[in-house]
Amino acid sequence: MAAYADVYRRSLAEPEAFWAEQAEALRWTKKWERVLDDANPPLYRWFAGGELNTCYNALDRWVDEGRGDQAALIYDSPVTQTVAQYTYRELRDRVAAFAGALRAQGVGRGDRVIVYMPMVPEAAIAMLACARIGAVHSVVFGGFAAPELAKRIDDAQPVLVVSASCGIEPGRLVEYKPLLDHALALATHKVARTIVLQRPQCRATLQAGRDLDWHEAVAAATPAECVPVAATDPLYVLYTSGTTGKPKGVVRDNGGHAVALRYSMKVVYDCDPGDVFWAASDVGWVVGHSYIVYGPLLAGCTTILYEGKPVGTPDAGAFWRVISQHRVKNFFTAPTAFRAIKKEDPHGALLKQYDLSGFKTLYLAGERCDPDTIEWARAQLQVPVIDNWWQTELGWPAIANPVGIETLPVKPGSAAVPVPGFDVRILDIDGKPAATGEIGNLVIKLPLPPGTLPTLWHNEQGYIDNYLSHYPGYYLAGDAGYVDEDGYFWVMSRIDDIINVAGHRLSTGSMEEVLASHPDVAECAVIGAADALKGQVPVGLVVLKAGVEKSAEQLSVELVARVREQIGAVAAFKQVAIVARLPKTRSGKVLRATMRAIADEKPYTAPATIDDPRTLEEINVVLTRMRNAVR
């Protein structure tokens, strides 16, 4: 770890010199006056006084520097049987044209624009166009329910909304325009203009005087040039669910964001200009912002925007087809996607149909990846499988294997070591450093590095209360884990998922790890249910791989014995049920807190981001049956 250790130590000891060096890789219209503005702790700002344009650094600079004919973005849509490629020059010109259309509707520097789009190139074009003219975009996941979209409209107060006539899911169309119309009617803040992309699969009815056709708006506009903005000006607001029901608007600035993402593309993802990088996510999530749109383009790479699923478009070989066809070097997705593939094609038969000789590394993040899934992926792909840990709030990986500096040994189940710039610690409940191997709260010492959230949108006190007040001088991540004797971090679960069984603090993540290692298990979740005697007891919910013929009773006995053997009787693990599927958000996160509320017979509201509400009904039936059996 010599090379990594030297870089990491310097990033903490000399942060201003370190980040000034990384910032030199960008093109600035005005150099910063201070690398780190620490005049108002615990609120810090990076590159104060500097000016740049994120869109220029993502597109125009590469045209100016001779990469205009290189592929910038590849659109691959198995749901519409479409593959399209945009060079850096073509993408720049399309973005400039749409930026002109926005400007013609009165959108200017600092104005907000909500982008409510499916996974089409125009979604990325709209984001970059906002950046080009200094507007602030707020992307809302396409197909989000109207009341949730209305909340975001009221909080962001946009000048304009960009949308599309529909999204396309396997076997069905999702009409966006009725949802948008309903949201605009519900919102207190009134939006004067929308621009709607008409897709051939579904035409939307446009309201005269308010709704504009995308292509007509672009045809009538004059292309816009890049507008320099302050490094500390917001680039975007991305809403993440709040515990109060009010969405939290995570703010990302222009300067620190561009510096950090460009740095991460090399250090974390080992990508150089010209490499093909694919993040299989959605532009509605932070991964889509950071590693479909901005990160790869800031690094001069080719990025892939994929409108499809890991299975079902058309089968569990979809990812291999994309990697092979587009010569993907490095691929980033959520562990959930790989569990779905493993469930449908446990022996990797479909993988053998494709040439993956140019594929170098698989990256997994979004939730904790169990060691069994990592080992399965590594065995099938014969490439390194690298876990990394971060959050919407952080914007880029805080814990990872820094392969762009030095490839460290992989420990399946660990996200590895802190990325340069992140001073990560594990603290106990009293704020003291936890002992090696002892589970505690994951925190990051302030100031956070560039690219992380400087505040919440119009809610500075909420930022302090939610993240900075629990341990003064530290950012509270909300995750629990431990650090081992080699300095590797093991992020086991959300703090809420540490359960107290008869006075013993236990991680549900460690139990999930044991269940997932069973050869018949595709994916699983463990929740803590209230218990009058022990305080809480763990309950396991398990989805099986395709083709398993054992009885549920036999499997339950095996799984309980496995947890007892590997964790001990102290876990009091006695209840496990086989289920058809787990309830998840559209980004693939398992809804553990909601299932815990169901288990404890507490009221709950299905999250707006739920993928399929029917899964909660199914889980309710299963947990009620288990509860009655115990009684």
Q: Is-contact 252 456, C-beta < 8 A? A: no
Say what the pLDDT of residue 552 is.
87
User: Residue 588 and residue 265: Cα distance in Å, rounded?
Assistant: 23
Q: What is the per-residue pLDDT for 1? A: 62
Query: For position 244, what pLDDT does the model report?
Result: 46
DSSP 339: H
Give the C-alpha separation, 101 to 225, whole Å.
Answer: 12
**Dist CA 223 CA 210 (whole Å):** 22
Helix axes 552-566, 508-516, angle to 10 degrees: 120
Across the chain, which has 631 residues, the per-10-residue mean pLDDT values are: 91 98 98 97 97 98 98 97 98 98 98 98 98 98 86 96 95 93 96 97 96 98 98 96 69 98 97 97 94 98 97 95 98 90 92 96 85 91 94 97 95 95 95 94 98 97 95 95 96 76 71 90 89 81 90 90 80 88 83 86 81 86 79 55
In order of 237, 244, 252, 475, 546, the CA distances from 241 in angstroms are 13, 9, 17, 18, 33
Task: Judge whether 498 and 505 are in contact, CB under 8 Å.
Answer: yes
Local structure of 32: helix, strand or coil: coil
The answer to whether 198 and 216 have CB atoms below 8 angstroms apart is no
Select from 514, 535, 533 the least CA-distant residue to 524. 514
pLDDT of 505 reads 62
> Which residue, among 363, 292, 357, 304, has the nearest Cα to 333 in the 3D structure?
363
Do residues 303 and 292 lie in contact, with contact meaning Cβ atoms separated by under 8 Å? yes
DSSP 8-state assignment for residue 108: -
Rounded to a whole number, what is the largest CA-CA distance in the chain?
72
What DSSP line would sit under 375-441, residue for residue? Answer: HHHHHHH-S-EEEEE--TTT-S-SEE--TTT-PPPP-TT--BEEPTT--EEEE-TTSSBPPTT--EE
Tell me the residue ranges of DSSP E strands in 104-204. 112-116, 136-139, 160-164, 166-169, 172-175, 193-197
Task: Please give the domain boundaries of the chain with CATH numbers for all domains.
Answer: 2-481 (3.40.50.12780), 502-630 (3.30.300.30)
